[in-house]
Amino acid sequence: MSANNPLNKQPEPVSWNFKLLSQNDLGGFGGMGEGIAVQLAKDGRRIAWLAHESAPKNFTGVDVSDPRNPKVVVQTELPHQKMRSNSLDLSGDILAVAYQTQKTGMQPAGLELFDVSVPEKPRSLSFFDCSGPHSRGVHQLWFCDGEYVHMASGAPDFNPSHPNDDQFYRCIDVRDPSKPKEVGRWWMPGTSATDNVKPPARHPLDKGYRAHNTNVYPQRPDRLYLCYIDGGMFVMDIKDKANPKVISHWTNSPPYTGFMHTAVPLFDRNLMLVTDESTEDNALDWPKLIWVLDARDEQHLVPISTCPLPPVDAYKDRGGRFGAHNIHENVPVPSSFQSDQLIFGTFFNGGLRAYDIANPYQPKEIAAFVPPAPNGSKVGSIQLNDVYVDERQVVYTVDRFSGGLYMLECDF
């Protein structure tokens, strides 16, 4: 029975138009976050840099030159157990890593830059401190041009109007990687205790009005595509990085349940992809979707479709989360696949799915990969967390708890 058949309620696994090339549990530390970057190393190797979802590991480098035989070349440790490095990104041979602590006021909380020109020996270049009495540090970052890190972060001098609203947009100049410095910041009005604006109304699940993905693309370097969790998403003018300005705002919540995660513009087609994140087990926050927006007028974004998913009843009781999370973001680096027609997304226990949006009003599912629960999964199911597609169209996806790295090829 094909994976896109609405009657498909068979137990996992599912493999349809994806072929598994390999899996590596990363030495038993296979709980992975939402940071995948691929380096084309100077010695000819291809190194995948992977962020871990939680301590004790910081990041792992994997030689994926042969996708059928990935080999761990380095695995680094976090300073302590009460922190995570959930996000990373790479430009050239410089790796940017986000540090977030479990509670406010803890250290280290911030951004660290590494020289990974010798992958086996990452060398720290600098640390940008974001700790403070109301800060947990950096949750997510975007670093593709070698010049600026765009990130969702707290700060020593930021006092949120609600404790769930502790991270906002910050732009860090790293043109001198030994001396990173902030050049711009913005937060949703009402989320700082210093604002003369009424704080936003809380959502029932209340995941916070705080920044998440902070995407910037060379086609429009003066634009920031900023998702703000319960605050929806913003298109921002960052031509003057010191003074970001709102161009438009779009949200689906209410009536949906918040946690807007990622926005990816498809410039040549005047479209935009926007994802929610499922954050509740057993699909208690259903539906969590990939949305397709008409973006021909960036001041007036219009949702025109969502990517289809199997019935929620087929997955909600399998263990853990079910619903959208990360998509391949057309990262503007040489090692990244670029497409304005194919979408690759992770859905936790719904696995990895691919869609064709040749007709953006009717996205079609064209592939699915739902592997068995990996050994050691604390929820008894796969929880695919992130996806990256390289320029060879080799697909990298990772499990949130124990499965580590899965590498696939496309049969479409």
Alpha carbons 394 and 19: distance in angstroms, whole number? 10
The 3-state secondary structure of the chain, one letter per residue:
CCCCCCCCCCCCCEEECEEEEEEECHHHCCCEEEEEEEEECCCCCEEEEEEECCCCEEEEEEECCCCCCCEEEEEEECCCCCEEECCEEEECCEEEEEEEECCCCCCCCEEEEEECCCCCCCEEEEEEECCECCECEEEEEECCCCCEEEEEECCCCCCECCHHHCCEEEEEECCCCCCCEEEEEECCCCCECCCCCCCCCCCCCCCCECCCCEEEECCEEEEEEEECECCCEEEEECCCCCCCEEEEEECCCCCCCCCEEEEEEEHHHCEEEEEECCCCECCCCCCCCEEEEECCCCCCCEEEEECCCCCHHHCCCCCCEECCCCECCCCCCCCECCCCCEEEEECECCCEEEEECCCCCCCEEEEEEECCCCCCCCCCCCCEEEEEEECCCEEEEEECCCCCEEEEEECC
- Locate the domains of the chain by residue range: 33-323
151 pLDDT higher than 80: yes
Average pLDDT estimate for 69-98: 98
Measured distance CA(46)–CA(223) in Å, rounded: 30
**Model-level pTM greater than 0.75?**
yes
Of 131, 99, 93, the C-alpha closest to 112 is: 99
Q: How confident is the model at residue 179 (pLDDT cuts 50, 70, 90)?
A: very high
Q: Nearest CA to 114 among 101, 124, 104?
A: 124
Residues 220-241: tens digit of each pLDDT: 999 999 999 999 999 999 999 9
Task: Give per-residue pLDDT as tens, 13-68.
Answer: 899 999 999 999 999 999 999 999 999 999 999 999 999 999 999 999 999 999 99
Going by C-alpha positions, the residue among 139, 135, 184 that lies closest to residue 159 is: 135
Q: Is the dihedral of CA 69, 85, 342, 270 positive or negative?
A: negative
Q: Does residue 5 carry a pLDDT above 50?
A: no
CA dist 24 and 14 (Å) reads: 19
Per-residue tokens: 237: 């003018």
First to last CA, the chain: 18
- Please report the pLDDT score of residue 12 as a whole number: 64
Quick one: pLDDT band at residue 275, thresholds 50, 70, 90?
A: very high
Round to whole Å and give the CA distance between 181 and 170. Answer: 10
Torsion sign across C-alpha atoms 200, 33, 382, 16: positive
Q: What is the pLDDT of residue 163?
A: 98
Would you state the pLDDT for residue 2? 43
Q: Which residue's structure tokens are 């270049």?
A: 125
Could you say which architecture CATH assigns to the domain 33-323?
7 Propeller (2.130)
pLDDT digits (tens, 9 = 90+) for 366-399: 999 999 999 999 999 999 999 999 999 999 999 9
